[in-house]
Structure 1
Amino acid sequence: MTTVQTIAIHRTSNQKIELNANKLQKRLLRETGKAIADYQMIEEGDKVMVCLSGGKDSYALLDLLMTLQHRAPIAFDLVAVNLDQKQPGFPEAVLPNYLSALGVPFHIEQQDTYSIVKRLIPEGKTTCSLCSRLRRGVLYRVASELGATKIALGHHRDDILATFFLNLFYAARLKAMPPKLVSDDGRHTVIRPLAYVTEADLIKFAEVKQFPIIPCNLCGSQENLKRREVSEMLRMWERQHPQRVWNAFNALATVVPSHLMDRGLFDFAGLKPGGNANPGGDLAFDPEPLATSPSVTQLDD
């Protein structure tokens, strides 16, 4: 093979890699923008506090919101916030250097929640619950101090689905992560702009962007066994029956209270025949139709 041929092959390969990277970014921007629009997550004049943990999801969230900020028909501000929990060996310079290079406003909040968790949680026990509560309280306070009107988290489609199945299998309730909610202190609006984005795409995006990932040394080795089991189930479905995963996800946005069993959501006690046909009612003896059409949420390249 000649030198010219080798150069041509490399050029073609690089062009293909660049093309795929551009398609990936366009898909992520489209899905993120759609989620924001569907749930009215960001409004004119908002100051969005992007919680940056140093993981791939929050890096991607900030990157995509910065791009959408320049393209959106409304004006909104961004501020990146990281909570330095004083974990031993935490690389303190990584995020300030990265955010300074981006030119985005940021705030690093230093709170030694690590020592509190280690003091209160026995060795070998899961630290996630207490760590999450402490982190949430600090971030709510910081949001108020910064004047943020929205708090953006990096949870994606797979996080939402995993939470749904965890609640279904182990807590006996139909509950997931909503794309938008009011915080438990009643003072903040929390949004999840990556609600339509798959984790697989975020992994690819992180590789393309070469985000400086910071591992969590506090709880990274204490992966919740139940969540891991559910995540593996979803990965298996993704490989073998990908439409099943999207159907399950879309079902979260297509709820029919009259066909469930929650007496608080539907007045079963007061239900009486009115003599009028109801096309949306139960067909009683007929099987329910199965979804065979492409997912509404799953957008083509």
Structure 2
Amino acid sequence: MPTLRNAERRGAHEANRLAKRLRHQVGRAIADFGMIEDGDRVMVCLSGGKDSYTMLDVLLQLQKKAPVSFSITAVNLDQKQPGFPEHVLPEYLRSLGVDYHIIEQDTYSVVTRVVPEGKTMCSLCSRLRRGALYTYAEQHGYTKIALGHHRDDLVATFFLNLFFHARLSGMPPKLLSDDGRHVVIRPLAYVREEDIVAYAEAKRFPIIPCNLCGSQENLQRKQVGLMMKQWERESPGRIETIARALGDIRPSQLSDPKLFDFLALGHREGAAVADAHAWLAGDPAAHAPAGHDGHA
């Protein structure tokens, strides 16, 4: 029995350390990116997965001692997937005493009708889900929309865009929507996925799996995820290094002329600058200084 009690104490100690670390990381992300301000009405998007449960739980803890006053409303989109356990989230949220709302919208039928069998459903499903949540946020005056993406999601999105879309872009911790109407925040931006897994197990969240697309094994994101896990096994700490690099961008060390004025770099006053067409065509007139006709 003493051995069992010791194990329980160690487990409780580790759980407390983990909870403290998550509060610290979420609080630091909120401060670093100005995610939550005094008087904010935060709409926490709750999917029923480990990430959004953890986000809600930690935000509720921070709210009690926060230096600013803000409200939290948990919002879930019931997409009408067959077999979805509609009772789980309401029962859990009522047990917490947190304000919540369930949006009912049959995006499942739309996705399964439009997307051919065997094709990836995530893109369309995400757009429909985002549209429903944004619309609800606007209709009810929420000032911030909180999503449960964590550090590993941010890194994976960077590699997805790099490998499959040929661009250096990612998933920022704080984002203004394209129409300028919504501010999206990701409080878990500094949190490792493995810590979320451990926290969700310790808290025994009533996890609801996504059966719409969870069985699609050939998703690009899963390929990237496997690559990242292999890297972490071979070189522990590599993902954290990459995550820090996403916050230390050096435009002059990349190749995007929209971000850095390479044409002006080292340019001599009065010297002609030929465009790409002139270089490819070999037009000597294009090399002449401004106001010079190119003849002796």
Query: Is the pair's TM-score, using the shorter chain for normalization, greater than 0.5?
Result: yes
Contact 2:46 2:53 in 1 (8 A): yes
Report the equivalent of 2:234: 240
Higher mean displacement: 62-71 or 241-250: 241-250
Report the equivalent of 1:217: 211
Query: Aligned equivalents of 1:11 and 1:273: distance in 2?
Result: 73
Query: Aligned equivalents of 1:104 and 1:126: distance in 2?
Result: 35
TM-fit CA distance, 1:259: 1.0
TM-fit CA distance, 1:119: 1.3
TM-fit CA distance, 1:225: 3.0
Instruction: Determine whether 1:258 maps to 2:249.
Output: no
Q: Which of residues 201, 206, 214 is equivalent to 1:207? A: 201
Report the equivalent of 1:140: 134
> What amino acid does structure 1 have at the position aligned with 2:31?
A
Report the equivalent of 1:270: 264
> What amino acid does structure 2 have at the position aligned with 1:114?
Y
Report the equivalent of 1:107: 101
Report the equivalent of 2:113: 119
> What amino acid does structure 2 have at the position aligned with 1:159?
D
Aligned-residue sequence identity (percent) comes to 62
Aligned residues: 268
> What amino acid does structure 2 have at the position aligned with 1:235?
K
Q: Which of residues 49, 60, 64 is equivalent to 1:66? A: 60
Q: Kindly tell me: are residues 74 and 104 of structure 1, through their superposed partners in 2, closer, same or farther at Cα, counting changes over 3 Å?
A: same
Query: Aligned equivalents of 1:81 and 1:38: distance in 2?
Result: 25
Query: Aligned equivalents of 2:163 and 2:80: distance in 1?
Result: 35
Instruction: Determine whether 1:81 maps to 2:75.
Output: yes
Report the equivalent of 1:188: 182
SS of structure 2 residue aligned to 1:79:
strand
Q: Kindly tell me: are residues 225 and 138 of structure 1, through their superposed partners in 2, closer, same or farther at Cα, counting changes over 3 Å?
A: closer
TM-fit CA distance, 1:224: 4.5
1:127-166 equivalences in 2 (<5 Å): 127-166=121-160
SS of structure 2 residue aligned to 1:83:
strand
TM-fit CA distance, 1:223: 4.0
Instruction: Determine whether 1:43 maps to 2:37.
Output: yes
Query: Aligned equivalents of 1:112 and 1:224: distance in 2?
Result: 25
How well do the aligned residues superpose, as a CA RMSD in angstroms? 1.2
Query: Aligned equivalents of 2:155 and 2:127: distance in 1?
Result: 22
What runs of 5+ residues in structure 1 fail to find an aligned partner? 1-6, 275-301
Once the two structures are superposed, residues 263-289 of structure 1 have per-residue CA deviations (whole angstroms, 9 ceiling, x without a partner) of 000000001289xxxxxxxxxxxxxxx
SS of structure 1 residue aligned to 2:237:
helix
Once the two structures are superposed, residues 21-67 of structure 1 have per-residue CA deviations (whole angstroms, 9 ceiling, x without a partner) of 00000011100111110000000000000000000000000000000
**Which structure has the greater CA radius of gyration?**
2
What runs of 5+ residues in structure 2 fail to find an aligned partner? 269-296
TM-fit CA distance, 1:243: 2.6
> What amino acid does structure 2 have at the position aligned with 1:213?
I
